[in-house]
Structure 1
């Protein structure tokens, strides 16, 4: 009966009579949720039989029947009973097999169900309740069935559609996380799209990452820190190292902005963006973790899946993450993956050192690579000690050769002329602040006395610091000051005399110094930080350093009292003495 009705409707349509054809369309246009009133929707068995009849004559559903096909594709189906869903999916498969021109609209309909669906979709009157997970299962079942029939559609149709329907960065968290989770499911049964889809995902995630940085940069420094701590649930103290008192230069500007209130809408929007990024990164970490199942019994054996996955992530890093300026969190995907095996860590370090020291590369790339290698070696908890020393040794050897060869060209500190050199110096200082324990060697002399020395060619730092290049004036004040304190406490090198001389001569404009951007600074996201905590070096105070600082402050107070007397009594030094006193 249903087959006869469908055939008659199509036959009459062919000769210009559209009454039964429109009646057929109306069956699929009817909303199954509208059970009250005159226009009741057809029952599920009736719809199922109609679909089966259409499947048998699917070859006749050409462009002349496009309106009917559009109605069927737009019909509510994911919340109906199982038998209807099976008939519907079978119809879609036969349709795209017979008419390739419908593949686009069918794929678009399926992909649009990957987002955050309202619960009402699975709560149709007269039908069993279908939860959201079951709905997504049905959509994937339909997509898999179609791709098995038309495999070429994966690249030609599905991939562009997945990219086009990816939520805009302004969409809410649930829209992003539902869509991302479903994209990752597609990757599992369409492995040909794995690299391309994950590349798109990385690109979209980093755009959200950058948006956070832009929003924070618009806030006052103190307000930004406080809001970030509130958003991430991490105390300000966890931001560690590199905070330096720079009271004199910025005090007035900071006081001027002190009373400004942060707009409530801006904070709310920023909080939502951070939460969204956190959830998306957590999904990605969870996805990648299944490919890094490396045996503890034989860590030297690396499955092909682990190697391929790391190479893929490293590729995304090279093409998308590293060229993006000042991203905050996306790069931790590589930080985490590189520590899954010493081979991966070594591969990443070699690539960054090579870019840092290669004078044929653009200066910007070399500076970025230096920041990455410094931050990684300083923070990578699972990086073998020998590899930490190897990186520092290579950097120090290059610094030594640079000073020997280029000193003749140096008339004083010049960040524009020698920027890569200063980047490497800053990298070594930063690594030293975190990994000085691994860079020490203990040996026992013939009388049994334990002697401590420095490994990895670090002795060259004395020559570098006292050279005409004067890196202590160019490198980030935050890094310089912390390095000076630790190096002095450990009796490694002594920097304070040069630092004071630099201060007297003027510290220089901000554009004449390196910034203190280190891409693996503390990971502060609440949910996804669970993946990072186990492999991250947290800043710990150097034993005894605080005691030294207290003694120095006491000595400085006494010295200041004495200096006042000296400056007041040394009239014979004239104008120069007065100038020096005013600078102090």
Structure 2
């Protein structure tokens, strides 16, 4: 018989066919069936052995096990018709055949109901595929659900191909598309081998299982436009929950990213979904870490170190530290603490694993950072940044994907900088604009591969914007007020922060006798900082808005020290007088209560709550596994050795004029405040 030939039973012999739903008599042996997937013919052991022929695109099965598919269809249709009329005997038997919770041996069957053989179950699958329009009727939904809930990915390849066609048939009638997609996406996160193993079948690897799942999804996407529209929704609905372990998250993410290979139009939406979930985990993790005390934080670090050592084979289970308390009175507190440690540790591991996956996923696109592919992918990542990452202020690690890849070329670096500047300065000051300023400052400060000319250009634009805001706000300023001028202070702190990290790159020209690798060789020289840099910084540091009081004290202290030692601007007199300034006197507690400025004196808030925090989104990367991707891209904080010998020494003679000006400013501010209260 040719490999393309089809053997059919003569029509007049159809009456000899026995029902496949009835158990065979003990004197009758079921024949083994051959399902040929590639169209090649196997040599039959007997002349009566039949075969099945179908292709992946549109399988057409003609015969199986000596019975024509037409006769099998007839029997199944008859069973469905009988069930519709109330005769459920064979219908219930058919449904039980798909109950994979039952054993494959005879222990779970009656004497007259022997276990079904694999090839027979495939017959049902093929027949039910042709009856898909009937299965959408209400009386048969329990049968369809039984079919969809059976374990199929762990069976042989022939059964899998037949089952995929049944899924396609069910999806094509429209009634079971959701259930079909839900089943596939639930299996995308499955990592336990026993969950897909079927007794009587050879073991199947996780890799093979994933290949089969994607073959099924690919088939559905090819035949059903509704499936294409539903994939992202289903992917989100079945995404692992926060408490799931890193293997579950990593497996699911890898499968989502794989969909992009055969459904590129869905790729961007699926990647955005992964980033959304990653940011959520990132923010939750950071919130949990902020709430932990030092002891619990240390316990988290120990647990992570032990996990990594165990993964590397360097630590036995009995070497792990035991955090449980031996004191019965403290047992509940100890258990609560252990659970918090476990949750934070799990979140860190999940975040670390998924970040590593995404670094690996994006890396090929930036192999040539000057290519159109790299530019297109960079723009897509920037879109993720503006739409997903930027609004989530406490994200600590997700943004490092962008940090790493945009430093691959000056062009990509400029694309990210332009995006931040567009959000920060192309409209009225806003919350997102303030966040964008923090990202811009942090990127310029920490990006190890950003050239000096880019840093100088951006810093110059930041100073120009800062001076414009100062000129606009000082007209109505009565004193430092974070609630009224937050955007101004955020921008001022950004310039201080950039200067502290990149002051060497901000020097326009270096004297010949300076040793570039020796920071101390710059100290005390009259350096060229470019046009207007010194003037603008001095105007702002000594202005009525008083940013040195509102900006983060740590950043202000480092800026003051460097600016003085490098002869840029002298601000220590302002810092001295700021010790006597209370920010609360310039901030209203409540406008609705009609309170005046003096009423703030009874407010319990200290100056710390009215100052900027030192959040910069590219602060040190802490994930232990994936940090290898950014270590060479990241500029750590390196204090200048020998510069801190005497931080508080300053020449009182040189600062006399400046101190008088500051005192005068404070006096004017206090007078303005009193006059304002009198007017009220």
Same fold (TM over 0.5): yes
Deviation of the 1:456 alpha carbon: 6.7
| CA–CA separation in structure 1 for the residues paired with 2:237 and 2:620 | 34
2:614 matches 1:516:
yes
Deviations 1:377-414 (A, max 9, x none): 10112222211111100111223344445444333322
Cα shift readout 1:307-363 (whole Å, capped 9, x = no counterpart): 33222221222122111132211222222232233223212212323433356242x
Aligned residue for 1:382? Answer: 449
Unaligned runs of 5+ in 1: 235-259, 560-584
Instruction: Tell whether the 8 Å contact from 1:355 to 1:366 is kept in structure 2 after alignment.
Output: yes
Name the Cα RMSD after superposition: 2.9
Secondary structure class of the residue paired with 2:204: coil
Match of 2:287 among 214, 217, 234: 214
Residue 320 of structure 1 is matched in structure 2 by 388
The partner residue of 1:168 within 236, 241, 261 is 241
Aligned with residue 311 of structure 1, among 379, 384, 407: 379
**Equivalent residues, number:** 516
Structure 2 residue runs of 5 or longer lacking an equivalent are 1-16, 21-68, 307-332, 513-524, 584-605, 653-680
Q: Residues 391 and 51 of structure 1: is their aligned pair in 2 closer, same or farther, counting only changes over 3 Å?
A: same
Match of 1:394 among 461, 481, 484: 461
- 2:262 aligned to 171, 189, 194, which one? 189
Q: Is the 8 A contact 1:32 1:124 kept in 2?
A: no
Q: What corresponds to 2:479 in structure 1?
A: 412
Deviation readout 1:86-132 (Å, 9 max, x if unpaired): 121122223323x1212121111111111123211344332211111
Partner residue, 1:75: 150
Corresponding residue of 2:63? none
Using the alignment, how far apart are the partners of 2:265 and 2:526 within structure 1? Answer: 58
Corresponding residue SS for 1:324: coil
Q: CA deviation at 1:229?
A: 5.2
Give me the whole-angstrom Cα distance separating, in 1, the residues matched to 2:544 and 2:630: 41
| Residue-by-residue CA offset, 1:57-100 (whole Å, 9 max, x unaligned) | 44444414333222211111111111211121122223323x12
- Whether the 8 Å CA contact 1:487–1:493 is kept in 2: the answer is yes
**1:6 Cα shift?**
4.4
Give the Cα–Cα distance (whole angstroms) in 1 for the partners of residues 392 and 125 of structure 2. 51
Alpha-carbon spacing, 1:65–1:360, altered in 2? closer, same or farther (3 Å): same
1:85 to 138, 157, 160: 160
Match for 2:95 among 25, 33, 50?
Answer: 25
The structure, 1 or 2, with the larger RCO (C-alpha pairs under 8 Å, 6+ apart) is 1
Shift of the 288–231 alpha-carbon distance from structure 1 to 2, 3 Å rule, reads farther
Matched, 1:360 2:423: no
CA spacing shift, 1:412–1:26, aligned 2, 3 Å: closer
- TM (normalized to structure 2)? 0.70
- Cα displacement string for residues 540-581 of structure 1 (whole angstroms, at most 9, x for unaligned residues): 222432xxx23457x79xx9xxxxxxxxxxxxxxxxxxxxxx
In the alignment, which residue of structure 2 is the partner of 1:335?
403
Q: Is the 8 A contact 1:78 1:121 kept in 2?
A: no
**1:163-216 CA distance string (max 9 Å, x none):** 111122222222222211111112332222222222222221111111112212
* 8 Å CA contact 1:356, 1:420 repeated in 2: no
Q: Which of the two has higher C-alpha Rg?
A: 2
1:351 and 1:392 map into 2 onto residues whose CA distance is 16
Residue of structure 2 equivalent to 1:502: 578
After TM superposition, give the deviation of residue 476 of structure 1 in Å: 0.5
Cα 1:347–1:415 change in 2 (3 A) is same
Partner SS state of residue 138, structure 1: helix
Q: Which has the higher helix share?
A: 1
Deviations 1:256-308 (A, max 9, x none): xxxx999232122211111111111222222222322215xxx3xx22x3233
Q: Contact 2:446–2:635 (CA<8 Å) still a contact in 1?
A: yes
- Work out the CA distance in 2 between the residues paired with 1:537 and 1:270: 27
Contact 2:296 2:341 in 1 (8 A): no
Say if 2:382 and 2:419, in contact at 8 Å, map to a contact too.
no
The answer to whether the 8 Å contact 1:442/1:451 transfers is: no
| Alpha-carbon distance change, 22 to 264 in structure 1, aligned in 2, over 3 angstroms | closer
Q: Deviations over 1:115-173 (max 9, x none)?
A: 12321134433221111121111111111122112244111x32222111112222222
What TM-score results when the alignment is normalised by the length of structure 1?
0.81
Instruction: Give yes or no for the alignment of 1:107 onto 2:181.
Output: yes
Q: Deviations over 1:26-64 (max 9, x none)?
A: 221244654351526422222223323333444444414
